[in-house]
Amino acid sequence: MENPINNIYPINEIFQTIQGEGVFTGVPAIFIRLQGCPVGCPWCDTQHTWYQHQERQVALSEVVEKAAPSDTWAGVTAASIVAELQQRGYQAKHVVITGGEPAMYDLRELATALEHNGYQLQIETSGTFAIQTSADTWVTVSPKLNMPGGYLVRPDCMQRANEIKYPVAMQKHIDEFDKLLQVCPPAATAVIALQPISQRPRATQLAMQVCIERNWRLSVQMHKYLNIE
Ligand SMILES: C[S@@+](CC[C@H](N)C(=O)[O-])C[C@H]1O[C@@H](n2cnc3c(N)ncnc32)[C@H](O)[C@@H]1O
Ligand SMILES: Nc1nc2[nH]cc(C(=O)O)c2c(=O)[nH]1
Ligand code: SF4
Ligand SMILES: [Mg+2]
């Protein structure tokens, strides 16, 4: 049955590009970026999505294919989001819901609407909020440990993850991740990847070395090397 609730999702931007991170790297994808995140990672790529200011609310047409990142957002229903993707003639069938922190919102209605229209869904989440999405959603958890917002990574998120993509810059981060894997073990089938923070050469060197030692994957934010969105 269709979820009868008409959730309003705060959309920061919608764009079509190539997935640059994790297991689906290289796959053409439509990105839906939601506004709002309280986790506070100091090196966050998308700090313009942290706050949801009422006075920055705009129409949906203004957040589709933004010329530059901004903190404007539009409140949109699942049906209107699907209609917008179809109207824009996007060819990608892989949809990535990111943010901001998408797990702050109940994504079930949006997931159902997208799947009914032939899209395959992936979400990118920090693992600090309960994940409410469809059973078929590919869940990428990028755990955030000891961040200023004080949020904890949830064991249920680690269990649900199809992919764990951990951002690293120094050995301390690896040690913290090892502790997390012990306390909150992922499913045996979960793919584990390390993602160097902000393309820093030392972070990349460390991530490569640990991936080889542990037989984990490397995820390098390909879109930044290609200078695409
Ligand atoms: C911007 S976050 C949004 C989704 C969610 N809040 C999260 O953290 O997963 C999307 C992805 O970008 C990663 N990320 C953000 N800033 C980064 C940076 N400077 N270097 C490497 N990865 C970064 C996050 O770890 C996450 O995997
Ligand atoms: N190309 C591209 N790939 C991405 N993978 C995850 C992203 C994100 O911001 O969540 C992202 C992004 O912003 N662009
Ligand atoms: S959890 Fe994600 S969106 Fe929030 S600050 Fe960290 S990287 Fe940025
Ligand atoms: Mg990004």
**Predicted confidence band of residue 152 (pLDDT cuts 50, 70, 90):** very high
Domain count, the chain: 1
Whole-number pLDDT of residue 20: 98
Q: Kindly give the number of the ligand 3 atom that is closest to the alpha carbon of 167.
A: 7
> 183: domain CATH number?
3.20.20.70
How many A from CA of 184 to the centre of ligand 4? Answer: 26
Pairing of strands 120-125, 94-98: parallel
Residue closest by Cα to atom 8 of ligand 3: 44
Residue closest by Cα to atom 5 of ligand 1: 125
| 206 occurs within a structural domain | yes
Q: Does residue 184 have a known ligand-binding role?
A: no
| 49 occurs within a structural domain | yes
Going by C-beta distance under 8 Å and a sequence separation of 6 or more, which residues neighbour residue 227?
A: none
How many A from CA of 12 to the centre of ligand 3? Answer: 14
Burial of 125 (0-12, 13-18, 19+ CB in 10 A): buried
Query: Tens digits of per-residue pLDDT, 202-220?
Result: 999 999 999 999 999 999 9
Q: CA–CA separation, 143 vs 177, rounded Å? A: 8
| 2 occurs within a structural domain | no
The first and second tokens of residue 52, run together, are: 């949801």
User: What is the ipTM, given to two decimal places?
Assistant: 0.99
How many A from CA of 46 to the centre of ligand 4? Answer: 7
The first and second tokens of residue 156, run together, are: 């249920």
| 35 occurs within a structural domain | yes
Q: Tell me the percentage of the chain whose pLDDT exceeds 70.
A: 98
| 4 occurs within a structural domain | no
| 71 occurs within a structural domain | yes
| 3 occurs within a structural domain | no
Nearest to 163 by CA among 127, 111, 128, 132: 127
| 1 occurs within a structural domain | no
Query: Tens digits of per-residue pLDDT, 9-34?
Result: 999 999 999 999 999 999 999 999 99
Q: CA–CA separation, 123 vs 97, rounded Å? A: 5
pLDDT at 5 over 70: yes
Q: CA–CA separation, 61 vs 41, rounded Å? A: 29
pLDDT at 59 over 60: yes
Whole-number pLDDT of residue 4: 59
The residue range of the domain holding 32 is 9-226
Query: Tens digits of per-residue pLDDT, 88-147?
Result: 999 999 999 999 999 999 999 999 999 999 999 999 999 999 999 999 999 999 999 999
